[in-house]
C-alpha cells in the first residue's frame, strides 16, 4: 500500500481522488453506537426531552440518534424510516418550547434541519413529491435561521436531485450553483459539483462536464476522509469515479466509462454481457423492498434506451422495458422529460 505522500500523486495520475483508489473502512454500529456514546437508550432520551430544561448531554444523544437515522437510509425500509424520522423530528421541534441557551437553540434548529432533510429524501423516494418539496423548504428555512451552511447546502442538493430526476437540467445547474455558493467548504459542495456535471452531460456539453468534474475532484482531494460513510449526508470519495463514469457515458466517452466500470466492478466479457448483467441488477433493484424510485427510474430508462437501440428484438429486453413501463405508470410524476 503506498504511503500518504504517494497516494494523492497516484490518484491524480489517473484523474481521480485518493479515497477512490485507497478507500478507508466505514463504520455502522446502529443503536449500539447511541448507547455507547451517550449512555442512553431511546426511552431515556425521550423522557429527558419531556423536562422543562434540556441539558447538553441530551442534545449529544439527539445528535448521535440523528446520525444513526441518516446512516440507516440505505438499509431500513422506507416506511419504517419515515415513521422514525418523523417521530424524532416532532420531538426535536418541540424542544423550541423549552428553556434553551442561544447555543442550544441553534443546535436544535440544526438537528431539526438534518431530520427534515432525511424525511424529505424518503418522502421523495416513495413518490410523495409535494410533501418532499415542502419538507425540503422547511429544512432550508431551519438552516437559514440557524445559519447552518451545510444543512442549507444539502437542501439545495435535494432541489438539484429533484430537478435531475424530472428532466429539468437547467434547474439542476441553478440549484447546484446556489448550493455551492452557500456551502463551499463542506462535503456537499462535491455532491453539488457531481450533480451539475450530470446535468451538463445530459445537455450534451462535454466541456462543462469536465469543468464541473474537475471542480469536484479538487474540492474532494482537499477534504478529510469522512468518519461515517453510511450517513446519507456524507460524500463517499470512492463514488466520485462512478459519477464521472455516468457523465462520460452520456457524452459518448465510452472508453473512459468502460475503464471506470472495469476497475470498480467484477464484470468481465464483452459489452453485451455487461449490458445483460446491468439489466439483471436493475430488474432486481426495481423489484426490491428498499427503493429510491426516482433514482431507479432515471437509471433504468437510460438503460432501456440503450437496450432498445441495440437489442430491440430480444425477448429479455422487451420484458425489461415492459416492466419499466409498469413502474412508470405507477409513478408517472417521476418520468424524466
Which pLDDT score is estimated for 275?
46
Number of domains making up the chain:
2
Last residue of a domain, one of 115, 147, 179: 147
Residue 55 lies in a domain: yes
Residue 221 in any domain: the answer is: no
Domain that includes residue 320, residue range: 266-337
Contact 22, 7 (CB under 8 A): yes
Has residue 206 been placed in a domain? Answer: no
Mean pLDDT value of segment 143-170: 95
Backbone angles phi, psi at 314, to 5 degrees: -80, 130
Any domain includes 209? no
Question: Which segment of 15-19, 50-54, 126-130, 209-213 scores lowest on mean pLDDT?
Answer: 50-54
User: 126, 147, 168: which is the final residue of a domain?
Assistant: 147
In a domain, 210, yes or no: no
DSSP 42-86: HHHHHHHHTSSB--HHHHHHHHHHHHHHHHTTTTS-HHHHHHHHH
Listed in sequence order, the DSSP H helices in the chain are 6-13, 18-21, 31-38, 42-49, 56-71, 78-93, 102-125, 129-146, 149-165, 169-182, 188-203, 206-221, 240-250, 254-264, 271-287, 293-311, 315-330
- pTM, 2 dp: 0.74
Residue 65 in this model has a pLDDT that exceeds 80: yes
Q: What pLDDT is stored for residue 274 in this prediction?
A: 44
pLDDT of residue 50: 57
| End position of a domain, from candidates 112, 147, 182 | 147
pLDDT score recorded for residue 296: 63
Whether 239 is in a domain gets the answer: no
Q: What is the pLDDT of residue 46?
A: 60
Q: Is there a domain that residue 11 lies in? A: no
**Residue 321 within any structural domain of the chain:** yes
Tens digits of residue pLDDT in 238-281: 888 888 888 888 888 766 556 655 655 444 434 444 444 444 45
Amino acid at each position: 500500500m503506498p504511503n500518504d505522500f504517494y497516494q494523492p500523486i497516484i490518484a491524480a495520475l489517473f484523474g481521480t481522488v485518493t479515497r477512490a483508489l485507497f478507500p478507508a473502512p466505514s463504520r455502522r454500529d446502529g443503536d449500539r453506537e447511541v448507547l455507547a456514546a451517550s449512555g442512553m437508550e431511546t426511552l431515556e432520551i425521550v423522557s429527558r426531552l419531556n423536562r422543562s430544561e434540556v441539558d447538553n448531554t441530551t442534545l449529544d444523544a439527539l445528535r448521535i440518534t440523528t446520525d444513526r437515522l441518516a446512516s440507516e437510509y440505505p438499509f431500513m425500509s422506507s416506511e419504517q424510516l419515515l415513521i422514525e424520522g418523523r417521530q424524532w423530528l416532532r420531538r426535536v421541534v418541540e424542544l423550541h418550547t423549552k428553556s434553551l441557551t442561544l447555543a442550544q437553540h441553534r443546535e436544535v434548529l440544526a438537528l431539526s434541519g438534518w431530520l427534515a432533510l432525511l424525511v424529505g429524501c424518503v418522502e421523495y423516494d416513495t413518490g410523495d413529491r409535494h410533501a418532499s418539496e415542502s419538507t425540503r423548504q422547511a429544512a432550508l428555512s431551519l438552516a437559514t435561521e440557524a445559519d447552518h451552511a451545510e444543512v442549507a447546502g444539502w437542501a439545495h442538493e435535494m432541489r438539484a436531485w429533484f430537478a435531475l430526476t424530472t428532466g429539468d437540467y437547467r434547474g439542476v445547474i441553478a440549484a447546484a450553483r446556489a448550493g455551492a455558493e452557500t456551502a463551499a467548504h463542506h462535503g456537499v459542495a462535491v455532491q453539488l459539483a457531481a450533480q451539475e456535471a450530470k446535468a451538463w452531460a445530459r445537455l450534451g456539453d462535454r466541456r462543462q462536464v469536465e469543468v464541473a468534474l474537475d471542480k469536484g475532484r479538487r474540492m474532494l482531494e482537499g477534504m478529510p476522509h469522512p468518519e461515517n460513510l453510511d450517513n446519507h449526508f456524507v460524500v463517499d470519495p470512492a463514488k466520485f469515479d462512478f459519477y464521472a463514469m455516468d457523465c462520460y457515458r452520456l457524452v459518448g466517452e465510452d472508453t473512459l466509462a468502460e475503464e471506470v466500470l472495469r476497475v470498480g466492478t467484477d464484470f468481465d466479457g464483452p459489452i453485451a454481457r455487461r449490458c445483460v448483467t446491468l439489466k439483471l441488477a436493475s430488474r432486481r433493484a426495481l423489484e426490491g423492498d428498499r427503493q429510491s424510485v426516482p433514482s431507479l427510474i432515471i437509471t433504468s430508462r437510460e438503460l432501456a434506451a440503450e437496450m432498445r437501440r441495440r437489442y430491440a428484438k430480444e425477448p429479455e429486453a422487451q420484458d425489461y422495458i415492459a416492466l419499466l413501463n409498469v413502474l412508470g405508470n405507477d409513478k408517472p410524476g417521476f418520468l424524466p422529460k
